[in-house]
Amino acid sequence: MTDRLPEVPDRLDELLTRAAAAHPSRRAVVTDDFEMDYAGFDARVTAVAAGLQALAPEPSVVAVGTVLHPDTAVAYYAAVRAGHTVAVVNPLLREDDLLHVLGLGGACVALLDPELNARLEQVRDRLPALREVVLIGAGTDGLDRLASPAPLVPVARGAGDVAALQFTSGTTGRPKAVRLSHRNVTVNAAQIAVAHRLDGATVTLNHLPTYHPMHLNSAIAAGATQVLCPAPEPYAAVAAADRHRATILYSLPVRLARLAAAPAPDSVSMTSVRRIASGGSALPAQAARRLSERFGVPVFQGYGLAETSPLTHSDDPDRPVHGSVGTPVAGTECRVVDIDSRSVLAPGGVGEVQLRGPQVMLGYAGGPDGTGVEPDGWLSTGDVGRLDEDGRLFLVDRLKDVFKCDNFLVAPSDVERVLRRDPRVADVVVVELADAGHGAVAGALVVLADSGSGTPTGTRPDTPAGTPRDDLADVVARANDALPYYQHVRDAMTLDAIPRSGNGKVQRRLLAQLLAERRPVAG
């Protein structure tokens, strides 16, 4: 175990109360055309919370789903301040998964951006618990109309009560709802602030597609300023960082890898940034070194799970070891166990990573407290790694078949489920394919009903109708229309049959290699 735990308030929304009291005029959330100080942030949260109490007088679940926008921060804290549990919804979900997560979470109110709400409307009649939807984000005035001058009704919520639901994908491919207590989230916010050396002078640049609670809460715990950069282009983040005098740049590994590979324009500089932080998946060591050399600042990364609020590890922000995700954050333990015997391994041994600490979840919604956690508090991650003599964690592989495209988790079974809806699909396996632009993408090996083709096939309908190539292209196109972009099938081929082991297991890595090399096999 590392350093002692930082002190935190009992409730998540009190992080904001404390920051507003300490430095009311300090900028809290900033974009190119918007600015909100801590006092204004706190007052707006209280007004919106009062409106939420009028919509839902009893404690319940409030879903929040938008792209990177200041309304997200207000809605997130307002839901908690109103005494509700906030459920963070990925704004890129398609209809089926949106139906699943909102139903699983039991949301009664949803604060969504217009694009997400348009997809919700297709399935809303199947969500009887969802009573109200408020549009938030760019081009809306939903929070203005929701805000109320009425006094808040006191709600007895403490450190051990559920503050948030964070959705994730498991081995089954269906998202699970992780139940996080107020203490889970507030402690982790403080752990991150310490590990990343955030303070009142820090200006973070969030170059992410969505507003992750990790960055929101840790900056507020430190009283830092957050700058939001929704533009996906790598140099848009560099320019925004310079305009707003950011001191730390947060981005995705895939975006940082693009930045490392892109030619450097003479007109672009990054003079105020002191550190670049990567998280969510592995940043290649070569890309980290190139970025560090180009901009003359350390590039570091960390590790965590939705089940751990999320951060459990961070590399040294000033002296990172590229390829490592660092050591545990304060109050957190990490060990590596043998995959078969479950015995604890010495440094250097490769096995499954287990974690224990105050940020480990209560459990999953729909199950008892502690579901997925051993009786002594250890959480098995499903990731394979090793520890060095200094306690640094190096991730080696994953036990699960899931992968990340643009930092979004992709479960092959999710994509397979959609492909199998097509009556032309007799069998299918979805695999991970390495991709320089997105980190990884989905590939599919498909057995078409009565096709017997056994030939590699592209995803474009560029041959006459009725051929296996044309059928496969149409199957893939229809499936992609029902999936968010990061689950899209980017390459596919037909097979006579899916090769399986004697006990019926599919070897996805072998099939991924087969697809990558474009070599057909017969059943």
* CATH code of the domain in which 135 resides: 3.40.50.12780
343 secondary structure, DSSP code: P
> CA-CA distances (angstroms) from residue 378 to 12, 179, 181, 182, 358?
24, 16, 17, 20, 11
Instruction: Please provide residue 286's backbone torsions phi and psi, each rounded to the nearest 5 degrees.
Output: -65, -40
pTM: 0.84
Residue with tokens 């991650």: 381
Last residue of one domain, picked from the residues 396, 419, 448: 396
Domain annotation covers residue 2: no
Residue 401 pLDDT > 90: no
Average pLDDT for the chain: 90
For 286-340, what is each residue's pLDDT tens digit?
889 999 999 999 999 999 999 999 999 999 999 999 999 999 999 999 999 998 8
Which residue in the block uniquely carries the two structure tokens 């009992």? Answer: 10
* Residues 415, 380 within the same domain: no
302 and 352 inside one domain = yes
Cβ atoms of residues 385 and 327 within 8 Å: no
512, 381: one domain: no
* Whole-Å CA distances, 413 to 171, 178, 367, 435, 454: 9, 20, 22, 20, 22
Question: Which of these three, 396, 431, 464, is where a domain ends?
Answer: 396
Residue 423: what residue type?
P
Nearest CA among 474, 442, 468, 475 for reference residue 520: 468
Longest pairwise C-alpha distance within the chain: 70
Q: Which residue has the higher pLDDT, 345 or 520?
A: 345
**Is it the case that residue 507 has pLDDT exceeding 90?**
no
In 10 A of CB 271, how many CB atoms? 9
| pLDDT at res. 65 | 97
Residues 291 and 195 in one domain: yes
Same domain, 375 and 426: no
Q: Is residue 4 part of a domain?
A: no
Q: Say which DSSP state 90 is in.
A: -
Contacts of 138 (CB under 8 A, 6+ apart): 69, 113
Average pLDDT, stretch 30-54?
98
Please state the rounded mean pLDDT for residues 36-40.
Answer: 98
- Tell me the pLDDT band of 100, cut-offs 50, 70 and 90: very high
pLDDT of 242 strictly over 90 = yes
DSSP state of 487: G
What's the CA angle centered on 420, arms 414 and 421, to 5 degrees?
100
Q: Is there a domain that residue 5 lies in? A: no
User: Does the pLDDT of residue 72 top 90, yes or no?
Assistant: yes
For the chain, give the percent of residues with pLDDT over 70. Answer: 91
Distances (CA, A) of 392 to 94, 130, 325, 387: 38, 45, 7, 5
Residue 8 included in any domain: no
Give 413's strand partners: none
Examine residue 52 and state whether it is found in any structural domain, yes or no: yes
Bridge partners of 112, per DSSP, are 65, 135
Is 204 among the domain residues?
yes
Higher pLDDT, 500 or 473: 473
pLDDT for the residue 450 = 73
Task: Give the number of other CB atoms < 10 A from CB of residue 390.
Answer: 10
70 and 151 inside one domain: yes
Q: Chain centroid to CA 277: how far? A: 15
Is 427 a domain residue?
A: yes
Q: Which of 222-226, 397-401, 472-476 has the lowest mean pLDDT?
A: 397-401
Q: What is the pLDDT of residue 248?
A: 98
Note whether 142 and 42 are same-domain residues: yes
Q: Look up tokens 């090769």; give the residue.
A: 499
Q: Are residues 487 and 371 in the same domain?
A: no
- Alpha-carbon distance of 477 to 480, in angstroms, equals 5
Residues 430 and 325 in one domain: no
Question: What SS3 class is residue 168?
Answer: strand
The boundaries of the domain holding residue 124 are 13-396
Give SS3 for 121. coil
Average the pLDDT over 126-150 and give the result.
97
Backbone φ, ψ for residue 258 (5° rounding): -65, -40
Question: In the prediction, which pLDDT does 169 show?
Answer: 59
> What are the pLDDT digits (tens) for 159-200?
999 999 999 754 345 788 999 999 999 999 999 999 999 999
135 versus 417: which is more confidently predicted?
135
- Domain ends where: 362, 396, 430? 396
268 and 247 within one domain? yes
**Is residue 350 predicted with pLDDT exceeding 80?**
yes
Write the pLDDT tens digit of every residue in 14-28: 999 999 999 999 999
**Residue 444 shares a structural domain with residue 302:** no
Q: At residue 453, does pLDDT exceed 90? A: no
Structural domains in the chain (count): 2
Q: Which one has a higher pLDDT value, 284 or 226? A: 226
Write the CATH number for 445.
3.30.300.30
Residue 3 maps to a domain: no
Residue 389 sits in the same domain as residue 502? no
Least confident interval from 144-153, 194-203, 504-513? 504-513
